[in-house]
């Protein structure tokens, strides 16, 4: 009887060890396939997807000490997938943008005041670092950004020249400026004052 008990304990221990090794990654599938070794969790399905927790912005902000890279789907304000790019003690929720999203322009920056090229660049960088409207990819527009604009900004295209990131190579420190209302362009030195929009 003691030998049988010892044998049961040995076999149980071996099975437990195998389960622990296998449990280093988990697979969920309908066909019982082995999970990929590179994944802690491997989900396989041809008829369903993975449903991420859905919540409002206020519910998201109420999460206590959210882990870095925690992901949720926000249902209000600017809906979309958000992940914590910060730390648990200092969360920084960033919306995961889609490269196929239409090009979107802000309203005129700095209350409609003209500014230098560098001031416009810093303005757009600040919008990105502060996740303006839930996005961290704001930048000064190129000529291509203007060409790809799906709709006009909420304050409309202006009869004013705006800074772009396109250098005017004939002169050092000169940049192309773009007249929104007509599509005309010109060039000017970086220390003159023109108008600024940012784009994502």
Distance CA 127, CA 145 (A): 17
Give the tens place of pLDDT for each residue, 81-118: 888 888 999 998 887 765 555 678 888 888 778 999 99
**Short-list 143, 154, 128, 132, CA closest to 178:** 143
Beta-sheet pairing, 71-74 with 54-55: parallel
Degrees, nearest 5: CA angle 108-114-116: 115
Distance from C-alpha of 34 to C-alpha of 111, rounded to nearest angstrom: 59
Give the pLDDT confidence of 6-47 residue by residue, as tens digits.
555 555 554 443 333 445 778 888 888 888 888 888 888 888
Q: What is the pTM of this model?
A: 0.54
């Amino acid at each position: 009887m003691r030998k049988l008990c010892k044998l049961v304990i040995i076999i149980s221990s071996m099975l437990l060890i195998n389960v622990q090794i296998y449990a280093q990654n988990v697979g969920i599938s309908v066909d019982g396939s082995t999970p990929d070794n590179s994944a802690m969790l491997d989900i396989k399905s041809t008829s369903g997807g993975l449903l991420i927790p859905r919540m409002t912005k206020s519910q998201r902000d109420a999460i206590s000490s959210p882990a870095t890279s925690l992901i949720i789907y926000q249902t209000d304000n600017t809906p979309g997938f958000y992940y914590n790019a910060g730390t648990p003690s200092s969360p920084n929720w960033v919306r995961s943008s889609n490269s196929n999203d239409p090009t979107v322009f802000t309203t005129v920056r700095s209350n409609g005041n003209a500014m230098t090229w560098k001031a416009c660049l810093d303005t757009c960088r600040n919008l990105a670092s502060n996740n303006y409207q839930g996005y961290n990819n704001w930048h000064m527009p190129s000529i291509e950004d203007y060409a790809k604009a799906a709709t006009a900004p909420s304050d409309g295209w202006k009869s004013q020249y705006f800074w772009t990131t396109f250098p005017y190579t004939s002169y050092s420190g000169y940049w192309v400026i773009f007249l929104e209302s007509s599509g005309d362009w010109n060039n000017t030195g970086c220390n003159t004052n023109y108008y600024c929009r940012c784009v994502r």
